[in-house]
Amino acid sequence: MREATVNRITNETDIKLTLRLDCDNVKQRKVTVDTGCGFFDHMLTLFAAHGGFGLDVTCKGDTYVDFHHSAEDIGICLGQAFSSALGDCAGIRRYGSIILPMDEALVLCAVDVSGRGFLSYETPRLNERIGNFDTELAREFFTSFTRKSMMTLHIKVLSGENTHHILEAIFKAAGRAVSAATELDNRRTGEIQSTKGII
């Protein structure tokens, strides 16, 4: 099984994260998330569950300030975990994409495990907060994730009105697209999906 554990301790956060990519049963796909922010826990759970990943995350952050450092650093850790679990990326499909509906919200998400961390993130104007979560932190999370995973990630909200629905669709779509891109392709076992010979 491709998996990785990342520990990150700074003056702002103390994070332990374990990621499992190849989950053949419910036990391996178990998701436990405790970030100190209920809504962010919900979003990370959706990302992992809809991606079919196993994920364990605990974060003790300086939430007396806000959740910025926690969201950013969890993105860093998750990106590092994907990078470590994928190794040289041999045998993966490399690309994944989906257009995912969530009630009135519709989100396009496309991924290239390219070795070049890049995020394109287009949403309509969102409500500033859901509960105690600043909605702009979703972008900060994905920025950190793409930089450390070295993936190209395009997220574009095609339609939507409800902020909760839009963010839920984004995290579900990202999980599905990343899952498709990192899935092993049995037709290309051991091959690097690049004419360069390296990702």
Domain boundary assignment for the chain: 3-182
Q: Could you tell me where the beta strands, DSSP code E, fall in the chain?
A: 3-9, 13-20, 31-34, 54-61, 95-102, 105-112, 118-122, 129-130, 133-134, 152-159
Give residue-wise pLDDT tens across range 151-160.
999 999 999 9
Does 27 score more than 90 pLDDT? no
User: Are residues 69 and 22 in contact, defined by beta-carbon separation less than 8 angstroms?
Assistant: no
Closest CA to 2 of 124, 125, 128, 182: 182
Question: Can you tell me whether residue 63 is helix, strand or coil?
Answer: coil
25 pLDDT band (50/70/90 cuts)? confident
Beta bridge partners of 18: 5, 56
Q: Which residue has the tokens 């037709």?
A: 187
**Average of per-residue pLDDT across 13-28:** 93
User: 3-182 in CATH: which number?
Assistant: 3.30.230.40
**What are 162-189's pLDDT values in tens digits?**
999 999 999 999 999 999 999 999 998 9
